[in-house]
Amino acid sequence: MPAPDIEFQIRSGDKLYSEGCDAIVFCFSADYHEQLTQLPPPIAHVIQQAISRQLTTGSLSMELVVSSLGLYPIPNLIILYNRNRELSLQRIRELGVSTARLAAQHHLQRIAINLTSVHPDSSSTIEGCVGAWTEGIGLGSYSIQSYQLSDMGASNPLNSIEFMIGEGYDLRRLEHTISEAITYSDATNYARDLTNMPSNMLTPSSLADEAMKLAADRSEMSCHVLGMTEIQSLGMGGLSAVGQGSAHQPKMIVLNYQGSSQSDIVYGLIGKGITFDTGGISLKKADGMEEMISDMGGAAVVLGVMQALSRLKLRVNVVAVIPAAENMPSSTAYKPGDIITTMSGRTIEVLNTDAEGRVVLADAITYARKLGATKLIDVATLTGAVLVALGDVATAAITNDDAFLTQLMKAAGRSGEKVWQLPVFPEYKEMLKSSVADLKNSTGSRLAGAITAGLFIGTFADEIPWIHLDTGGTAWLWKARGMDPQGATGAMVRTLLHYLNDPNAIL
């Protein structure tokens, strides 16, 4: 479920809390003894013992909720201990996630955060600190939708956050920072919600409906959706072939965002929208197939970004293209050995129907170019091979323009998301050659699978600046880890937003 509506307030001055708060957050570091002197001795003693025990384990951090025992004006104290005094924005973002999760565990509704106890590193500002903490709270408040009858109507109780700061800060700028951070976390949680939806509830048609809802009543955004007849008439043989085996017909979904009349640059965001992937005739194994509801994770990321663009009113132009389909085995499904003609005119020899993502993205890339995109970024849960290369820790990136990717990597650094560039040596492209078509959709080898899959897509970009982001390892987690929940993570939403917000920013 999306994060609850949380009211954020900023209070400056000597008073570090307002009446009615359930808890106040303090950040402690290695030199925490002076901070303890400001608390009643019984509370200080409990905190001292907890930190001392934690230090014996070698841990660099600790979270603790302590009752004030009626000795402090607020019922509970949340202690966030970090051995390092200076905190990066990513670490502050993580503390925001911890704050939200502790609030849920202890049923806390109103929390005050004492930012005078936080020491950002030298590269950070108070605005960055407030923004990172806000973003973390939004991300940490997310919970996956439950369909159990007993859970219907359950919600996270957290509804109020008060940032306590010193004097002399521009409150209007801080309020703007909070609003922007909320938009970033909301967009990520929206992508998580879409990706977590069961495939009987999210078909190509209902995914198209989501896009239409986003564009409704937004003057700067428009949407159009192509059905099977139009897909075929435009020669989109890749999307048509992959979708023809399902009772739910494919859709080509397009969202246009016009944020700047002064710029000639049009960013093309392409998101893989396979709402369920059985592998088709090249059927996947049964174990773990339920995760394939997440094979439209790239589409969810793109829709999350488009939601945020409209709220942020960013001065960029974006065309989002989502090829949506189900990859199912049936008497009408495409088969190994088929030759497909794509919208670009290039032909594809199908060797494995489970390599369908690159096939639908080929048409989407071509269509984005036809619609005027001058820079392309595709996001896709494309391969299992990326898990072998990078695990579920980092998103793989492939590009034909290193300068373009360098700027996106800087945006990833600002977001705290991990991206790693893969090589594109000519030998990898040779592996895609077919004796009967322009390309084959599978090399038939386990070698360099994430690279060859990405380069297959890049073929259709030709010379246009292009980045491929393979989220096959990062879009979904079987267990919660760090800032990310179990299930869909929304990986790359915030990276793309940081990039589009300031494409030329330095880290």
Residues catalogued as catalytic: 284, 358
Identify the three-state secondary structure at position 193: helix
Identify which of 383, 176, 396, 157 has the alpha carbon closest to the alpha carbon of residue 279: 383
- Pairing, β 267-271 against β 317-327: parallel
**Residue among 139, 154, 151, 161 nearest 25 (CA):** 161
**Residue (of 411, 242, 231, 267) closest to 333 by Cα position:** 242
What is the sign of the dihedral through the CA atoms of 93, 413, 299 and 328? negative
* Residue 224 CB contacts under 8 Å (≥ 6 apart), including other chains: 254
CB of 93 closer than 8 Å to CB of 483: yes
Please say whether the beta carbons of 120 and 129 come within 8 A. Answer: yes
* Residue 142 to residue 489: CA distance in whole angstroms: 10
Cβ-based neighbours of 335, under 8 Å, separated by 6 or more: 281, 350, 353
Q: Which residues contact 351 (CB under 8 A, 6 or more apart)?
A: 336, 337, 440, 441, 442, 444
Q: CA-based angle 271:272:273, to the nearest 5?
A: 105
CA atoms of 330 and 336, how far apart (whole Å): 13
* DSSP string of 91-129, one letter each residue: HHHHHHHHHHHHHHHTT--EEEEEGGG--B-TT--HHHH
Q: Which residue has the tokens 């600190």?
A: 129
Nearest Cα neighbor of 273 from 199, 175, 162 is: 199
Q: Which two tokens stand for residue 94?
A: 């993580």
